[in-house]
Structure formats: structure tokens, C-alpha cells
Structure 1
Amino acid sequence: MNHDVMKDQPIIAYNNGAVSEINDTIALEVPITILVNGIEFGTMMCTPTHIEEMTIGILASEGVILTPSDIDSLSILKEKGYVYVQLKKEDVPIDSYATKRYIGSCCGKSRKFYFQNDVRTAKTVMTKHDIHAEQIINLMEEMQENAINFQQTGGLHNTALCTTAELIVNRSDIGRHNALDKVYGYCLKNKVPLKDKVIVFSGRISSEVLLKVSKMGVGIMLSKSAPTTLAIDLAKDLGITTVGFIRGGRFNVYTHPDRVSFD
């Protein structure tokens, strides 16, 4: 058992009239507070694995850093629940990143961004890379087969970065946003190019999830679940192909179907 991901919990189980006391495997949730240049950036409720990747992914997606080379030092005190990040630039206005304010901005299109940082960091994806219907089914199956922690707990979201042919890296977390940040952090640390990649996702595609994918620069997103209306609107404008309800040999294409081939 990976004790950073799960723990046993005694429970009372009821099954067709029978009551029993058993141990169940439960997903671990802990607070991790990130401090940047000595200022509290935010606290993430997360699964305490791949914390460095998650921190890098969060800071990049919020526009605090462009690459890991902007970080002078990063130290993790897992037992106390803190990550200390020192940037090479000491005059970065951390408070302006940590405090998100509601705004509406068209940015020349029909987009509606609700957070200031998203206006600055969201990217329109221009990739021409495409994917075949059978590859969509296969990638979802491969991600689920590799989701060992989910199979043991039933309480984690999974995100995989893939080529159209195979899985590259898989990350899990109680929070779907955190799982994406861990994948993004992995890519930044290892200088993985993202234009020709695919994100495979276990959860609902919300507007926040869609924006994170756009900030990564990935043009194809596959999910076992459904997108929201705002996520679809953003995907149309940001050039992202969204495919949902990938289950049992079927799926729905919601935006930019030109990247999906069926022949």
C-alpha cells in the first residue's frame, strides 16, 4: 500500500441484510500550503504525491513562472504541509496572483474569463495534430488500466499525458485540478513538448479544467465524463478538441471535430 495515497479505515459494511466490520482503503487528503518568496500563495487540498510537480504546474498555470528555471529553490516539508518556493526574481507581486478577482473580458472573441490570471495565461491552441476514433478508445482504456490507486480507493481523479499511440505519464489526486497540475509540472521539469500531445482525463471537463489544458498548449482532451456549457464555449474559442463520455466503445465529440478521424 502507498501510504502517501491511501490508508486503511475501519468501517461498518452493510450488504443484503448482512452487517460486518471491515477495513476499507480510503484516499488520503491533506492540506499543502505553498509559500512563494515568503508570501502565502495558497493552500491545496490534495493527495500528497508528486508535490514538486504539482507546485510547478500550479505556478506555471497561474503565470507566476514560465519555466522551472525561474525558481531559485523549492523545499517541501511534507510532515508540516508546507512548500517553500524562492523565485530568482524577488519583486514578483505574489499577492496579485494569489487573489483572484471576478472579471469579464472578451479579449476580441466571445470568451468570458472569470479570473484575472486566466486572461493573461490562456492560450489559443493552433496544432493540426489529429487522432483516430480507435486511438481515443484505446487511450482511455490504457489510462484506466494504469489507474491502480483509483482501483484501490475509488476516490481519486486520474490524468494522463499521451501521444496518440501511448501513455507517457499518469498522475492521480483527490482533486482533478491537482492531477492536471502534476502532469503539467512533470512536463515542465522534463521539457516535454506538448503541441502534439493528448490529455486523457477521468473527471468532468469544467471551465477551470479546460483553461488549464489551454495553458499547457494541448489541443486534444479526452474524458470519461462530460463537459460543461462554459467549457464547451471556451474550447471552441481556444481551439481545443473535447471528447467526452468515452465508455464501452462510444464517445461524443463536442468541439473541433476536424481533429478526429473515423475512417
Structure 2
Amino acid sequence: MATLRPDTLAVAPDPGDPMLTAPVTAIDEHGEEVALRVVEERPLTIYLNAREIVTAMTVGDHPEWLALGFLANQGMLRPDEEVTGVDYDEELGVVVVRTAIETDHEAKLSRATRTSGCAVGTVFGDMMEGLEGLTLPAVSVRVSDLLALSHAINRTPSLYLEAGAIHGTCLCRGAEPLAYFEDVGRHNAVDKLAGWMRVERVPAGDKIMYTTGRLTSEMVIKCAMMGIPVLVSRSGFTAWGVRVARQVGLTVIGRLKGKRFLCISGQDRIVRDAEAAE
């Protein structure tokens, strides 16, 4: 299996960007000085029209996609909503998303809660709203594709390999990774992906979302609301995440390491092909 090259991705991590990491000095177990780079964290405040929505801690890249994806994944920006502008002020650390018509989001803000996610991790009391009646495409998943994706993504040049302490999310089709995002919070990485898909009008029905983070209820809900039928992680699950996945027909595969994995939803869609058996 070959290592994935950044130039084959529509969006790829940029571990060489000096704005995303900072140099520090540490002392190792032998008392020796060690130079290393650590991931940056910067506050990013998101506005929807004139209303301040949230301030998230983020690594700092792709702020416009992060803002769009966050608002869409929180149900504050509908798929048919006309976005007239996305303005980013780097000095202030502010993104303003403007819509043609004022949105009705005050009620959601009054019910905001903190979840188990890293960094922003904010969803709302009606987080299950929108899942009723949702049916995802029944997409088959070949084991050989899962193994190829795991091998390629884990060896792609990334901030994780450069500095650690970061999560990754990759949109894939079959065994082909398409776009790869990283951030200090796994929710931020997913929101960047959602924002990019919205801007580029990328169809979701035949895609796989690979994430390094835990498969909690909010991660499962975000994937389902984005219309992506398959969610894969090298990490584990929560009970509520399992229940929601089975409710909406999302194929969920976790603990993908080497040639091992566990499928907790959509098991009938797993294709154990010859290549995997070999």
C-alpha cells in the first residue's frame, strides 16, 4: 500500500505552515534538552449576521469553512439558506457569516449546552431535531477499502505526525481519500469538512467520513446530518452514539487499527472481499 501524497487531496494538512505550530523546549527523562514543535490554539469568534454565536479554540486554518460548517452542523444554517458573504478578520480572530434573510436562531442559543467534545464541542438541547425520518443510503463498504484508507491516512504528512495533540477528519470515496482536515478539537475538524463540502457542493451520499476521534452521539449526529452514510474511526464508541447510528441507519466502524476493526451498525453492508482475506 502506498503512502497518500498531499497533492492527491483536494485539501491536505500543511505541517510545514509555521502559523500552525510553535517551537518549545522540553526536558526528557534523561534530563536532556529537547526542541520540538507544538500545535497552536487560537480563539475564533463566529458571528451569524449581527449575532455572536460562539468562540472556539482552533488551530487557525480554514476559518471560513469552520464557521460555515459549525453553523450548518448546529442547524443554524439550513442547506437552502442563501449565504451572501463570509468575512474573516485575522487580526480580530472573527468570522462573520451573512445570509440573505435573518435566521431564527435565538431559541437555539437559549438552549446551548456543553458536550463531551474537545475544544468547542457545543451542541444544543434539541440536538436530535432533524434526525426523525432521516434515512441514509445503504452503501456497501469493502474491507479492503477500509484497510487501504487506514494505511494511507495514518501515513499522510500531517500536523499529527509533526506535533501530535490534534484530531483529523478525512472525507473518502471507496479507498480514495478526498479531503483531509485537522484541528485541536475533533468537532472543529468535522465542521471544516462540512463547510468545504457546502462551498464546493460535494455530494455526500456515496462518501465515507474517517475520523481519529471518539464516536460519541454528537459525532454520529453530525455525520448523519451531513448525509454521509459511513463513519469510520480508529477510536471507540459511546452507547448513545451506537443507539443513534442504529436509529438512522448509519454504518459505523470503530477501533480500526491494522487489519482489525469493529462494526456496531450496518454490519450487513460490510463486504469481506478477496483482497482483504489475502
Distance verdict in 2 for CA 1:98–1:147, change over 3 Å: farther
Matches of 1:121 and 1:3 in 2, distance apart? 41
* Equivalent in the alignment of 2:13: none
Tell me: higher relative CO, structure 1 or 2? Use CA pairs within 8 A at least 6 residues apart.
2
Identity across aligned pairs (percent)?
25
Matches of 1:93 and 1:151 in 2, distance apart? 42
Offset at residue 98 of structure 1 (A): 2.9
User: Cα deviation per residue 1:94-141 (whole Å; 9 max; x = unaligned)?
Assistant: 322333357xxxxxxxxxx97215413677333122111111111122
Residues 100 and 117, structure 1, Cα contact 8 Å, conserved in 2:
no
Matches of 1:66 and 1:141 in 2, distance apart? 35
* Equivalent in the alignment of 1:197: 207
User: Cα deviation per residue 1:209-241 (whole Å; 9 max; x = unaligned)?
Assistant: 111001101111110011111100000001101
SS of the aligned residue for 2:235 comes to coil
Matched, 1:97 2:113: no
Letter of the 2:55 counterpart: T
What is the aligned counterpart of 2:82 among 56, 70, 74?
A: 70
* Equivalent in the alignment of 2:137: 127
Offset at residue 78 of structure 1 (A): 2.0
What is the aligned counterpart of 2:170 among 148, 160, 176?
A: 160
Residues 127 and 195, structure 1, Cα contact 8 Å, conserved in 2:
yes
What is the aligned counterpart of 1:22 among 15, 34, 37?
A: 34
Offset at residue 55 of structure 1 (A): 0.9
1:175-254, aligned counterparts within 5 Å? 175-254=185-264
Matches of 1:94 and 1:50 in 2, distance apart? 24
Letter of the 2:43 counterpart: P
* Equivalent in the alignment of 1:5: 20
* Equivalent in the alignment of 1:141: 151
Matches of 1:255 and 1:117 in 2, distance apart? 20
Matches of 1:147 and 1:100 in 2, distance apart? 40
Residues 122 and 215, structure 1, Cα contact 8 Å, conserved in 2:
no
Structure 1, unmatched stretches of 5+, are 103-112
Matches of 2:132 and 2:24 in 1, distance apart? 41
SS of the aligned residue for 2:150 comes to helix
Offset at residue 69 of structure 1 (A): 6.0
* Equivalent in the alignment of 2:51: 39
Matches of 1:12 and 1:122 in 2, distance apart? 53
SS of the aligned residue for 2:91 comes to coil
Query: Cα RMSD between the aligned structures?
Result: 1.9
Residues 136 and 224, structure 2, Cα contact 8 Å, conserved in 1:
no
Letter of the 2:20 counterpart: V
**Greater alpha carbon shift after TM alignment, 118-127 vs 77-86:** 118-127
Distance verdict in 2 for CA 1:35–1:121, change over 3 Å: farther
User: Cα deviation per residue 1:19-41 (whole Å; 9 max; x = unaligned)?
Assistant: 12222210111111111121111
Residues 187 and 219, structure 2, Cα contact 8 Å, conserved in 1:
yes
Distance verdict in 2 for CA 1:178–1:51, change over 3 Å: same
Structure 2, unmatched stretches of 5+, are 1-15, 114-122, 274-278
